Amino acid sequence: MGTIREIRFENRFTNFLPADSETENQERQVYAACYSRVIPAKVKDPKLVAHSREMMALLGLDPLTDGDVDMAAVLSGAKNLPGMDPHAMCYGGHQFGHWAGQLGDGRAIALGEIVDVNGQHQMLQLKGAGPTPYSRSADGLAVMRSSVREFLCSEAMHHLGVPTTRALSLVGTGDAVMRDMFYNGDTKPEPGAIVCRVAPSFIRFGNFEIFSSRDDIENLKKLADFVIETQFQEIDVHDPDKYVLFLNEVVSRTAEMVVEWMRVGFVHGVMNTDNMSILGLTIDYGPYGWLDNYDPDWTPNTTDAAQRRYRYGYQSQVAHWNLAQLANALYPLIGEVEPLQAAIDKYKTLYEKKWAGMMAAKLGLPNLGDEPNKEIADLALKVLEITETDMTIFWRQLAKVSSDIAIGADDRIKPLKKAHYRPEELNLEKESEIQTFIDAYTARLRLLNIHDGERRESMNAVNPKFVLRNYLSQIAIEQAESGNNEPVNELLDVMRHPYDDQVSNEKYAELRPDWARTKPGCSQLSCSS
């Protein structure tokens, strides 16, 4: 272990890829470059709010204390270390299905790339570190509420087993940042903050799209070759089909990522192509949300309220569409449509296979290969929509349902009642539908000789008890804004063990309270959230 000052930087991205020839930090179109060098803005009074001890250990760093002034300075961008090469990436993207042209890191500045204790390269990136050439007239800063959400969710998703970028630290800047949360003219000063994000790479689909859109094939090839050589080492760089193989791998990783979102009830909220990682990692936690009551049409993003393009139940289709845009961007390197189309077509098969395996595990069944098992899965999803039912609690309680035929029908169904937001709305017809599902499910368990104890254990390993419910984050945010960091760290501790019972932390696994149903920050979020 060592201190932050002992970190050794190996900046492959900036060493091997073309840089912006202009050095002045002003808004502009950047051509023939993968990035622009830029210095983080100076902050008033950086103080550590929270950090991930797991990430500290992975990076070979000593444990932190809240009063570590030196670390807070470095992780806010206020202090530069030898070997750092701060920069912002240039990329484009499709936003809500439309080409938006150049976007880029508008409020993210990468410090550089280091080697972790496992010998893997990790990029450190500050979100909210000030303006860049890609800020599009914005200030490039971030506020406490959005930063708490990003920090907590990055780590919560990791501990849930969902592919994700990570978060090393959350630092308060001591500066006031003006924000209009819902773009309605209600601008207010808010406490500023910066998250240090960590990932092997932050390269997105949009990094390729920008070069392809500009017919800059030379730099498109440089980027693709670099990504394959550094991030997809299982692909032979001399293989004539390397770009097709690369696309196929991105397709597979993306399918895996989205299935994991669906498993835990996560809604990304803004699946633009510039927010899609080529590594199949969840990236850019903006207006995300967690399903409380199961609703496939729900999106947390108020900007998407009318179209609902990025709703929970449509995330797989959007990922498929986004992959097609990546394939279009790679076409100049391949010159043939057929292998690209084959890779994109493979997505649906891969996703359906992974989804079936996921659903079988959630139900405690060996597979969904048998038609009766598929019917059980369909019934379970229908039951979730019969009345307002908490998705997380439903699956956790389903593990408690007994398959013992000697137990009466009312007692078998009883565990699920804990998941209902409006139990008074359960009439005889609805209860009969739920009972039909439970009867079919338990009969199937008996037929397959699946014992309740083993089933409960296997189901609890994939159905979390604790997820980062939006209202829990909002409570922690409001406390952090007033200077109390304890709730953020307490919530982080709970999310470290989402599948454990944690009897002393039951309050974090309860139904969403009524006050959070329509509260901004809980059910209503924007890209500024």
* Banded pLDDT at 232 (limits 50, 70, 90): very high
For residues 142 and 127, the answer to whether their CB atoms sit within 8 Å is yes
For residues 448 and 363, the answer to whether their CB atoms sit within 8 Å is no
User: Does the pLDDT of residue 30 top 70, yes or no?
Assistant: yes
User: Does the pLDDT of residue 316 top 70, yes or no?
Assistant: yes
Which CA distances in Å does 385 have to 142, 360, 368, 379? 37, 19, 21, 10
For residues 451 and 123, the answer to whether their CB atoms sit within 8 Å is no
Task: For residues 155 and 420, give the distance between their C-alpha atoms in angstroms, rounded to a whole number.
Answer: 28
Residue 522: per-residue pLDDT: 80
For residues 407 and 439, the answer to whether their CB atoms sit within 8 Å is no
The SS3 assignment for 356 reads helix
The SS3 assignment for 49 reads strand
* Banded pLDDT at 32 (limits 50, 70, 90): very high
User: Does the pLDDT of residue 401 top 60, yes or no?
Assistant: yes
For the stretch 244-290, pLDDT in tens is: 999 999 999 999 999 999 999 999 999 999 999 999 999 999 999 99
For residues 265 and 235, the answer to whether their CB atoms sit within 8 Å is no
Residue owning tokens 């017809």: 429
Residue 181: per-residue pLDDT: 74
Share of the chain above pLDDT 90, in %: 90
- Overall average pLDDT of the 123-145 stretch: 97
User: Does the pLDDT of residue 529 top 60, yes or no?
Assistant: no
Catalytic residue among 20, 175, 274, 304: 274
Residue 67: per-residue pLDDT: 62
For the stretch 104-118, pLDDT in tens is: 999 999 999 999 999
Task: For residues 39 and 205, give the distance between their C-alpha atoms in angstroms, rounded to a whole number.
Answer: 25
Task: For residues 216 and 110, give the distance between their C-alpha atoms in angstroms, rounded to a whole number.
Answer: 24
Six token digits for residue 274: 């510039």
User: Does the pLDDT of residue 169 top 90, yes or no?
Assistant: yes
Q: Is residue 274 annotated as part of the catalytic site, yes or no?
A: yes
Residue 526: per-residue pLDDT: 63
* Banded pLDDT at 528 (limits 50, 70, 90): low
For the stretch 498-509, pLDDT in tens is: 999 999 999 999
Residue 66: per-residue pLDDT: 58
Choose among 285, 356, 351: nearest CA to 318. Answer: 351
User: Does the pLDDT of residue 442 top 70, yes or no?
Assistant: yes
> What's this model's pTM, rounded to 2 decimal places?
0.96
User: Does the pLDDT of residue 65 top 90, yes or no?
Assistant: no
Domain boundaries, the chain: 207-282+311-361, 365-449
